[in-house]
């Protein structure tokens, strides 16, 4: 299918912008102004950005313009507009984490992610919203309010990287940093109709360490797969500040071609054996999987064989919340999101023996998935059982107690530290549906190949303004 040539700079991808910068048909300053105008137009309706640094962005764009003019760009994303989630340090900018308990003091150092983006010449526009300390699967906080879904602003964007996903859906900046300790890249990517990947744990360095420790991965959200790969070229490099950071893949992420589907063994698990999924969601995911089968992939309808690991995950998650809450006095605790405070209190009651048992259960789940991937290259599931629900509430219905009740496909693969991504696979009743691709640890490029095939098969619909 021939893609129409874009003429609106604000709608362009990183790939397109980089080419235009190289051929001197467009300036990074023009691209940055277009992104800032899109933010001014759209952000009031969705609340994706909690901080915009217009002057800093334009200054960075001017420096990028000089480099491209001399033919000396720092990277392929030099001059491309981007954002950082407000859980990550950016030197000279506020670091609030969505919390009224935070200080208005400016950060004095870049986190590895911010540093690598700046060193690559990316133009960072500002910081995107997060629930308080990234604690849940929707994005609202006592500090910044409710972040809304661009496809329907009465609905949630998902979370905790809901600001990044909403910004990507509207191209309020092109490349967006996100984090995922229980689904926080994939959930909002699915709800907002964009691409997001949680890379293998350790591929993208994280410092300071997340409160959720080794559950937490950093990664990109963007409109297209290739744009995220350009970002991975920059961010997937070790940093001495993160003891867990590693390098398994030394090549260029963005130069990798799609791997052949013929002979590839795909396990398709529409429910993981225990999840109730909306029939419309299943139909769209089924269609995408069938298309892969028709193109030569070997597809088996099979579950990976584990029981819902919610108790294991909750033990580790609540303990992480308890660690954060323990740093606050009584006056500060009154300011916290009540839901976050509650799981912190519950986490403080977890016995050390129970915590260690949860760690053992996690290790067993990881072992079982490694064994599973000795038989299957890829696992495909829906990203979420349903489409987006009403904004401003933590759960889909009153019958659900925690955000994990409606995100059962995502958190298992934080426990196992595997690469897992969400790619749009269609629209149901006016709302995007995401398909999740999971690979064995270190096999991120295999999952990305599947995402590229689906992206080609099912062209993503993009928005230029929020819908109400």
Task: Tell me the catalytic residues.
Answer: 85, 160, 184
> How far are the Cα atoms of 98, 169, 182, 199, 220 from residue 337, in angstroms, in the given order?
10, 27, 19, 29, 27
Q: What is the DSSP string of 181-199?
A: SSSTTHHHHHHHT-EEEEP
Whether residue 227 contacts residue 260, with contact meaning beta carbons closer than 8 Å, is answered with: no
Count the alpha carbons within 13 Å of 356 in the hemisphere toward its beta carbon: 3
b/e 340-371 (16+ beta carbons within 10 angstroms → b): bbebbebbeebeeeeeeebeebbeebbeebee
CB atoms under 10 Å from CB of 122, counted, come to 32
CA distance between the termini of the chain: 30
Whether residue 32 contacts residue 123, with contact meaning beta carbons closer than 8 Å, is answered with: yes
Query: 123 - beta bridge partners?
Result: 81
Helices and strands in the chain: count of H runs, count of E runs: 14, 15
Whether residue 146 contacts residue 168, with contact meaning beta carbons closer than 8 Å, is answered with: no
Q: Which of 279, 273, 231 has its CA nearest to residue 252? A: 231
Residue labelled with tokens 């709800």: 191
For residues 29 and 13, give the distance between their C-alpha atoms in angstroms, rounded to a whole number: 15
> How far are the Cα atoms of 22, 52, 66, 194, 343 from residue 423, in angstroms, in the given order?
29, 28, 36, 7, 31
């Amino acid at each position: 299918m021939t893609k129409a040539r874009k003429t609106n700079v604000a709608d362009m991808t990183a790939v397109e912008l980089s080419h235009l910068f190289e051929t001197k048909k467009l300036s990074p300053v023009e691209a940055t102004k277009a992104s800032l105008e899109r933010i001014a137009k759209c952000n009031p309706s969705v609340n994706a950005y909690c901080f915009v640094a217009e002057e800093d962005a334009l200054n960075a764009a001017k420096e990028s313009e000089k480099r491209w003019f001399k033919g000396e760009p720092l990277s392929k994303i030099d001059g491309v507009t981007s954002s950082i989630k407000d859980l990550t340090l950016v030197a000279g900018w506020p670091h609030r984490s969505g919390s009224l308990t935070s200080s208005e003091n400016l950060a004095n150092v870049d986190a590895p992610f911010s540093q690598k983006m700046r060193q690559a010449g990316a133009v960072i526009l500002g910081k995107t919203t997060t629930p308080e300390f990234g604690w849940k699967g929707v994005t609202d906080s006592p500090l910044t309010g409710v972040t809304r879904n661009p496809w329907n602003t009465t609905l949630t964007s998902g979370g905790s990287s809901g600001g990044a996903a909403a910004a990507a859906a509207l191209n309020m900046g092109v490349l967006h940093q996100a984090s995922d300790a229980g689904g926080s890249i994939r959930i909002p990517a699915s709800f907002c109709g964009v691409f997001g990947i949680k890379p293998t744990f350790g591929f993208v360095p994280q410092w300071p360490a997340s409160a959720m420790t080794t559950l937490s991965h950093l990664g990109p959200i963007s409109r297209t797969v290739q744009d995220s790969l350009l970002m991975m070229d920059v961010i997937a490099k070790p940093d001495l500040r993160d003891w867990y950071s590693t390098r398994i893949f030394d090549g260029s992420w963005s130069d990798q071609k799609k791997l052949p589907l013929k002979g590839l063994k795909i396990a398709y698990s529409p429910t993981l054996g225990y999840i109730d999924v909306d029939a419309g969601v299943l139909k769209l995911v089924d269609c995408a999987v069938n298309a892969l089968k028709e193109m030569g992939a070997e597809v088996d309808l099979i579950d990976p064989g584990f029981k819902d690991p919610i108790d294991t995950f909750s033990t580790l998650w609540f303990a992480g919340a308890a660690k954060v809450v323990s740093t606050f006095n009584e006056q500060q605790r009154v300011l916290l999101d009540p839901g976050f405070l509650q799981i912190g209190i519950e986490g403080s009651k977890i016995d050390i023996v129970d915590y260690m048992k949860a760690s053992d259960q996690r290790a067993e789940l990881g072992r079982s998935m490694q064994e599973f991937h000795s038989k299957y290259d890829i696992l495909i599931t829906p990203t979420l059982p349903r489409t987006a629900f009403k904004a401003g509430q933590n759960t889909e219905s009153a019958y659900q107690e925690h955000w994990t009740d409606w995100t059962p496909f995502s958190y298992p693969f934080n426990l196992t530290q595997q690469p897992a991504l969400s790619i749009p696979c269609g629209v149901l009743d006016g709302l995007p549906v995401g398909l999740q691709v999971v690979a064995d640890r270190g096999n991120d490029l295999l999952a990305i190949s599947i995402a590229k095939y689906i992206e080609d098969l099912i062209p993503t619909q993009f928005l230029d303004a929020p819908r109400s």
